[in-house]
Chains A and B, each alone.
Chain A
Amino acid sequence: MSDDSQRLPVTTDQDVVRVRQLVRTVAVAVKLSLVDQTKIVTAASELARNTLVYGGGGEVEVSRVQNDRRAGIRIVFADQGPGIIDLELALTDGYTTGGGLGLGLSGARRLVDEFEIDTEPGKGTTITIVKWCR
């Protein structure tokens, strides 16, 4: 499904900046509209920061994807942190355990076309997002 994919570690603030830049580059390459580029980069920034802050660091994989109709970009955020105990709560606007605004997860979900969370307490969290060209 994906032709080429690129991986980046997420262990520092600087890595979060690198994730934003890579996502921007790929979003431009798959010809997402300017607004959609902005949305996917913003969502990636939120999720990469969560990987760093709550997941204790991890890895991001950015791929170009293609189905029979459209091109798109898929990003996978993976960590081996504590996992998300109450997923429904974590996805609620305004819920935070870290003194944030609690908008990262719920906001990122609104900004993308596909959003999938795989999390297990004590094992870690993997979040996959996809944005398709219109």
Chain B
Amino acid sequence: MERVPVLKIGDILLVSIQIDMEDQVALQLQEDLAERIVATGVHGVIIDISALDIVDSFVGRTIAAIASVSRVLDAETVVVGMRPAVAITLVELGLSLPGVRTALNVELGIALLGRRETVTIDGDDEPADDGSDPAAVHTS
């Protein structure tokens, strides 16, 4: 079975999904990420799906589960690089990825995670969400 590689870059784990994943590969990725978050103590996870030409309910559900599990382990997940056709299809399928933060690309995803961290250090847990943040794209 193939495995999706997980890279550690500073305080972030970066996952770039480059293959059409079998369901088991997606589940394995979910497990691998949880273990790596605990082992490394990172506070951010970026999942780059720019190479995926579809996201079906299984992959969508796995991404949502990864985001929930990381949150419990004190890491924030940002999904980046969703193709426009994939976004249109996901919404029509009925999958809104609630609770999953998204950004247009890896750079904006890193910026989004970095900003959250700064805000937390300042002692303000909830960053103001006034919709003016260019890096933040909400799916729900």
Contacts and interface: CB of A to CB of B under 8 A. Distances in A.
Contacts of A34: 85
B53 A24 contact: yes
Given A20-B20, A21-B20, A38-B88, A103 B54 contact: no
Contacts of B53: 24, 38, 41
A20 B95 contact: no
B57 A17 contact: no
B23 interface: yes
Contact of B94 (A24, A35, A110): A110
Q: Which has the most chain B C-beta neighbours within 10 Å: A21, A37, A101, A104?
A: A101
B93 A111 contact: yes
A46 B89 CA distance: 12
Contacts of A107: 57, 92-95
Contact of A14 (B22, B58, B92): B22
Contacts of A111: 89, 92-93
Interface residues of A, number: 27
Nearest to A23: B54
Interface in A1-30: 13-14, 16-17, 20-21, 24
Contact of A13 (B24, B61, B86, B93): B24
B74 interface: no
B54 to A, nearest CB: 5
Interface in A101-118: 101, 103-104, 106-108, 110-111
B32 interface: no
Contact of A46 (B57, B85, B86, B88): B57
Q: Is the interface of B mostly helix, strand, loop or mixed?
A: helix
Interface string B50-84: 00011111101100000000000000000000011
Contacts of A13: 22-24
Contacts of B61: 100-101
Given A103-B94, A107-B95, A42 B22 contact: no
Interface in A40-92: 41-42, 45-46, 49
Interface in B13-49: 20-24
Interface of A: 13-14, 16-17, 20-21, 24, 34-35, 37-39, 41-42, 45-46, 49, 93, 100-101, 103-104, 106-108, 110-111
Given A49-B58, A101-B94, A101-B95, 12 more contacts: A13-B24, A14-B22, A17-B20, A34-B85, A38-B54, A38-B88, A39-B92, A41-B54, A42-B54, A49-B56, A100-B58, A107-B92
